[in-house]
Amino acid sequence: MWTGDRIPPRYRMDALRPSRASPSSERGELPAAVVLPKSTAEVSAAVRVAGRLRRPVVAWGGGTGLMGGARPTSDSIVLDLRGMRRVRTVDRASCTATAEAGIVLEDLDRAMRRHGMLLGHDPWSRPRATLGGAIATNGLGYSGYLRGSMGDQVLGLEAVLADGTVLRARAVPRSTTGLDLKRLFVGTEGTLGIVTAATVRGFPVPEREELHAFHLPTFARGLAALCRMYDEGLAPLVMDFQEEFEVPGGPWPIERGPPTVYLGFSGPREVVAASWRVARRTLRGAGARARPDREAREFWRTRHDIIYRMDEVAPGVTGADLFLKDVVFDYVHVALPRSRVLEFRRGALRILRGYGVFPSGFGVWTQPELVALEMMRPIRGDRARAKAEVGAAIDEVLRRAQDLGGSMEYVHGVGVKLVHLMGRELGAGLDVFRRVKRGLDPGGRLNPGKLGL
């Protein structure tokens, strides 16, 4: 256990860094203590002690969460789960693996591959994020359409409740025995319990994975072609369709060019070949032009590199903090009815420009309804003003998504960053959520303040 000056500064904040538009403190707060449990029994004991001391408990995985979900307050006890990283069992015949929550996703994937399976959850942050963190945020990875979100892949789970009770939900593909208890811990950011282990579905390593890149003449034509493909029953392994916009004074050069889609299929050779025949026919109809294969290979090979920018280059300072020091850089990830994506695009770009914020990228990821919008605003002296402008623009964009029948966030959770919009998002559901929280954690000890709880 670390207390006082021995607590490393990295525990002040997760990946909700100073370059983002959040009004939360740029320095974060050092917790009162950091505990590194080695077993479920130790997690249970730590939670009981925290209860007696009336201290908040914040679960910490890889610290890669983008919404401040793992940010501690100065009175809290952080439980860093990374000491719990054993693979308990791999069952090749059932295509499952059971591991402790603190295992890094890439290490779990590696262990499963030794048995001819892979982990279906493959986020950009795979080399640093943990199984428990991915479950607690219900993350989505590159192959999320084909293999589901992290939560979809959880068959069974073990969690410690606020009173120290250890709850075990059976690892079965389906059960109709009342409330699906494991779902209580999926996407709830450590507010209802601490996940200590989980059994996940494995996927046999496919015979073939084939990726290609294409330029499309316009975003609208590309989107329509992709929608047709999904309607025809194609299930891509990867789909990343993005257009970029020039940002004057940005920290890296972005060239306005035609929208690009990276598309991939996996499975037996014959299935991949047939999928590509249908996909190519549809893309040709939309005026797509194939890019050299090395572009798709490079995209796939480097897909996790960005997470290394979150590594510390000095105590409490990441490479991204230095790289983005003169700019506010932020993003939204909204889910929309497919029919409203283009309307959202028009409105969101207009809103950003109205606030003097530059859109840098707009796209859909894994499926046509899941939209990402990236933006920047050079600071040019007045940091607080730049952040306030980007923050106000984001809020208006998110409200717009909600008004169009969408959800303000489909991948990174709420943390502290989106708390103020939770009432609008859930309506009466927020009160139901709070009642569940009071029932399971009457003292409000588990990660208070997150998710609007």
Contact between 59 and ligand FAD by CB under 6 A: the answer reads: yes
Residue 143 to residues 172, 238, 425, Cα–Cα distance (Å): 22, 5, 27
In the bound complex, what is the minimum distance in angstroms from residue 80's beta carbon to ligand FAD?
8
Q: Which of 66, 171, 216, 341 binds ligand FAD (CB under 6 A)?
A: 66
According to DSSP, the β-strands at 57-60 and 77-80 are parallel
Q: In this chain, which residue has its C-beta nearest to ligand FAD?
A: 133
Q: x/- binding map, residues 406-445, to ligand FAD, per CB under 6 A?
A: -----xx---------------------------------
- 78 counts as binding ligand FAD under rule CB under 6 A: no
State yes or no: residue 18 binds ligand FAD (CB under 6 A). no
Our CB check for ligand FAD shows the closer of 15 and 351 to be: 15
Beta carbon nearer to ligand FAD, 19 or 282? 19
C-alpha span between 346 and 219 (Å, rounded): 11
| Contact range with ligand FAD by CB under 6 A, out of 62-70, 216-224, 383-391, 394-402 | 62-70
Confirm if 262 and 239 have CB atoms less than 8 A apart: yes
Of 136 and 155, which CB lies nearer to ligand FAD in the complex structure?
Answer: 136
Whole-number minimum distance, CB 109 to ligand FAD, in Å?
A: 14
The verdict on 62 binding ligand FAD (CB under 6 A) reads: yes
Considering only the stretches 118-126, 283-291, 416-424, 425-433, report the one whose residues sit in contact with ligand FAD under the rule CB under 6 A: 118-126
Q: Cβ of residue 282: shortest distance to ligand FAD, in angstroms?
A: 26
Comparing CB distances to ligand FAD, the nearer of 34 and 225 is 34
CB burial of 60-70 (b: ≥16 within 10 Å; e: otherwise) equals bbbbbbbbbbb
Coil vs helix vs strand at 235: coil
3-class DSSP state of 257:
coil
Answer for which of 50, 95, 117, 140 binds ligand FAD (CB under 6 A) is 140
**Which residue's CB is nearer to ligand FAD, number 194 or number 288?**
194
Considering only residues 155 to 194 of the shown chain, the ones binding ligand FAD according to CB under 6 A are: 189-190, 194
Our CB check for ligand FAD shows the closer of 67 and 288 to be 67
DSSP β-bridge partners for residue 34: 2, 78
Q: How far is the CB of 68 from ligand FAD (least distance, A)?
A: 8
Decide whether 283 or 324 has the Cβ nearer to ligand FAD.
324
Scanning 64-72, 174-182, 249-257, 311-319 for contacts with ligand FAD by CB under 6 A, the matching segment is 64-72
Sign of CA pseudo-dihedral 183, 187, 191, 196:
positive
Inter-residue long-range contacts of 6-13, CB under 8 Å, 24+ positions, other chains counted: 7/31, 7/33, 7/34, 8/34, 8/315, 8/316, 9/315, 9/316, 10/63, 10/312, 10/315, 10/316, 11/60, 11/63, 11/72, 11/78, 11/80, 12/71, 12/72, 12/316, 13/68, 13/71
* Residue among 137, 199, 282, 366 that touches ligand FAD (CB under 6 A): 137
Report how far residue 297's alpha carbon sits from residue 299's, in angstroms, rounded to the nearest whole number: 6
Burial class (CB in 10 A: 0-12, 13-18, 19+), 111: middle
Residues in the chain: 453
In the complex, least distance from residue 266 CB atom to ligand FAD, rounded to whole angstroms: 18
Within 13 Å and on the Cβ side, how many CA atoms surround 109? 17
- Give the 3-state secondary structure of residue 264: strand
Which residue type does 270 have? E
Task: Report, in Å, the least distance between residue 90 CB and ligand FAD.
Answer: 20
CA distance 143 to 267: 13
Residue 129 in contact with ligand FAD, rule: CB under 6 A:
yes
Q: Could you tell me which residues come within 8 angstroms of residue 36 by beta carbon, excluding any fewer than 6 positions away?
A: 1, 80, 82, 83
Select 69 or 236, whichever has its Cβ closest to ligand FAD. 69
Residues 268-307 touching ligand FAD, rule: CB under 6 A, are: 306-307
Contact between 81 and ligand FAD per CB under 6 A: yes
Nearer to ligand FAD, 15 or 393 (CB): 15
Q: Residue 368: what are its φ and ψ, rounded to 5°?
A: -65, -15
The gap from C-alpha 104 to its chain's centroid, in whole angstroms, comes to 14
Task: Decide: is 364 part of the binding site for ligand FAD (CB under 6 A).
Answer: no
Q: Is 176 exposed, middle or buried (0-12, 13-18, 19+ CB in 10 A)?
A: exposed
- Please identify, using beta-carbon distances, which residue of 75 and 231 lies nearer to ligand FAD: 75
For residues 129 and 417, what is the distance between their CA atoms, to the nearest angstrom?
19
Q: Which residues are near ligand FAD by CB under 6 A?
A: 14-15, 58-66, 69-70, 81, 101, 123-125, 129-130, 132-134, 136-137, 139-141, 189-190, 194-195, 306-307, 310, 411-412, 447, 450
